[in-house]
A and B are shown apart, each in its own frame.
Chain A
Amino acid sequence: MPANRHLTTTVPLVLSFLLIPLTIAMAFLWTGEDADQGLSQKIFYFHVPIALTSYVAFGFGAVCAAMYLWKRTEAWDMRSYVGIHSGTIFGTLVLITGPIWAKASWGVWWNWGDRQLNVFLILFLYYCAYFMLRFSLDDGERRRAASAIFALLGIGLIPMSFLAVRIAQTLIHPTVFTAGGASMPNSFLLTFVVGLAGMLSLMVLLISVELRGKRTAARVLQLQRVQRGEDA
């Protein structure tokens, strides 16, 4: 399906290669310096989109997990796995960029009072466990079902972690978005949106490339079996 392939690979490839450099250019050349944080605020255009993208990828993984439990086809299991895999990659980036920002604006590498960082840490531990679970079960129906259930439990864990950290803590993350909308100049908001679009395209690209790789690998294995005469 070449049309489909263009939609999932070529389009996000072009978009992410355009939008991510554009974000860098906009962040440094167009937006003004933040009155409070100065230059260090620029990381906002990368850190926050990466974090949101990571949530989207985990969400995609969970939706595909639910689809797997419903349809029971291997394709959904593979999508779920790849979604969580790319969520974990973006999650690693969040845990790298977060402390850089924290060091620059608060003077410490890690702030236990920060809600988002703490929630992310919980989720990161959780999704790393997903890989341990998946790879210590033998390939088959059971492994796929167990992975899918674990991925779905994450849907419960995300809001629960937010609530728990909120209940347990008083210190507040710099609230850039409030209930009344974004409290920042339009140039900041636009750069942020471009950054988010760029990261989301990169995520779609990573997911579709990895999926294609996995499908090809599975197909090669199958052909090898046929060649050896094990499969009809």
Chain B
Amino acid sequence: MIGAALAIARVKLVLEIRRREVIFAMLLFIAATIVIVHFALSGDTGAGNRAAAGMLWAAIVFTAVLGLLRTFAAEHEGGVLDALLLAPIDRAAIWLGTALAQFGFLVVIELVAVPVWWALFFQGDGPSVGTVVLALLLADIGIALVGTLSAALALGARTRDVLLPVLVLPLLIPVILGGVTATYGAFGEDVGGLRPLGFLALYDLVFIALAWGTSEHLLGD
């Protein structure tokens, strides 16, 4: 089952490397979002760590939603999904492999976007790197999980592209809250130690459990 999931994730990543459909769009989108939020806050984000942290997290979540719009798209268009469903693999593997690929996309865009964010908003004394990286990784797991789940639910809906953000964003509000609070902690604010990071990990576990329990029914017949 893990083998099948890894194979599916690899196919998606290889396809992405060849076609470059999603990651470049996500990169441009996150850059545009950061710039837009910066100007929407009348350019005040340089003044406040909190504004800078909020901007990063908002941009990441919206960018993740953009990337999710293409999940399962190739499968759906080419009829590959039916073949995958017929394959003698666990249904959970399809969902898990897709989530892994989504996680990979998120990590790649953050590798570019976070250093840029850092350079734009902090001169030398930014937040502590370890905490921010850990928070991002934990949040990426949750975003990829919940996002893939929602994308699978919206599959076959008449208004899929409009529907998906509406489904995902409320589910991701806890991730935003946890991630932003963890980032405040990285700036040295008192947020109760590792509690925000622990929360992000708990969120991942809860939704892994829920996704696992329902995966058999997820992709339908």
Contacts and interface: CB of A to CB of B under 8 A. Distances in A.
Interface stretch (A3-11, A94-102, A132-140, A187-195): A132-140
Interface residues of A, number: 31
A136 B163 contact: yes
B211 to A, nearest CB: 8
Contact of A69 (B146, B173, B199, B214): B214
B97 interface: no
Interface residues of B, number: 39
Contacts, number: 101
A160 to B, nearest CB: 4
A198 to B, nearest CB: 30
A34 interface: no
Given A141-B220, A142-B221, 4 more contacts: A133-B154, A156-B210, A167-B195, A168-B180
Contact of A136 (B159, B169, B180, B206): B159
Q: Classify the interface of chain B: helix, strand, loop or mixed.
A: helix
Interface string A131-161: 0110011100110011011101101110111
A129 B170 contact: yes
| Chief secondary structure at chain A's binding surface | helix
B210 A153 contact: yes
A136 to B, nearest CB: 4
B131 to A, nearest CB: 14
Interface string B123-159: 0000000000000000000000010010001101111
B98 interface: no
Contact of A133 (B157, B203, B210, B213): B157
A117 to B, nearest CB: 14
Contacts of A141: 220-221
B220 A145 contact: yes
A163 interface: yes
A157 B173 CA distance: 9
A61 B210 CA distance: 16
A163 to B, nearest CB: 6
B156 A167 contact: no
A149 B166 CA distance: 16
A209 B220 CA distance: 31
A168 B153 CA distance: 30
A52 interface: no
B94 to A, nearest CB: 15
A129 B173 contact: no
